[in-house]
Amino acid sequence: GENVEQHPSTLSVQEGDSAVIKCTYSDSASNYFPWYKQELGKGPQLIIDIRSNVGEKKDQRIAVTLNKTAKHFSLHITETQPEDSAVYFCAASKGGTSYGKLTFGQGTILTVHP
């Protein structure tokens, strides 16, 4: 089955700096790659996703890049703010009717210091 590895496990940055989280996946059939943000005591919430026919996607301060050949994808957060502090998960699935059958990475605890 699919295996998703996520690094780093913790990331500490100063407010205004950029943060980058990287993930690798093993199954070349995976073609849907979402990123979820989980705040303390809450369920995960989708922040951005990318499909395999796209190399990069941006949404304001957040961007995701995908390298299908190398089987890795990354989350980039620019101009970080304290409210960005949370646990971030990458995930992968085969898309279509299997969109929601996600294999998650281990998570990254992001701390943004004011």
Name the token pair of 88.
């971030």
**Shortest separation between residue 114's beta carbon and another protein, angstroms:** 26
Using rule CB under 8 A, residue 25 touches another protein: no
**Shortest separation between residue 78's beta carbon and another protein, angstroms:** 23
Name the token pair of 110.
């992001």
CA distance 5 to 104: 8
Using rule CB under 8 A, residue 26 touches another protein: no
**Shortest separation between residue 46's beta carbon and another protein, angstroms:** 5
E-strand ranges in the chain read 4-7, 10-14, 19-25, 32-38, 45-51, 56-59, 62-67, 72-77, 86-92, 103-104, 108-113
Q: How far is C-alpha 80 from the chain's CA centre? A: 15
Which of 20, 27, 71, 104 is the binder for another protein (CB under 8 A)? 104
Using rule CB under 8 A, residue 66 touches another protein: no
- Per CB under 8 A, residues contacting another protein are 1, 4, 6, 9, 32, 34, 36, 41-46, 49, 89, 91, 95, 97, 99-107
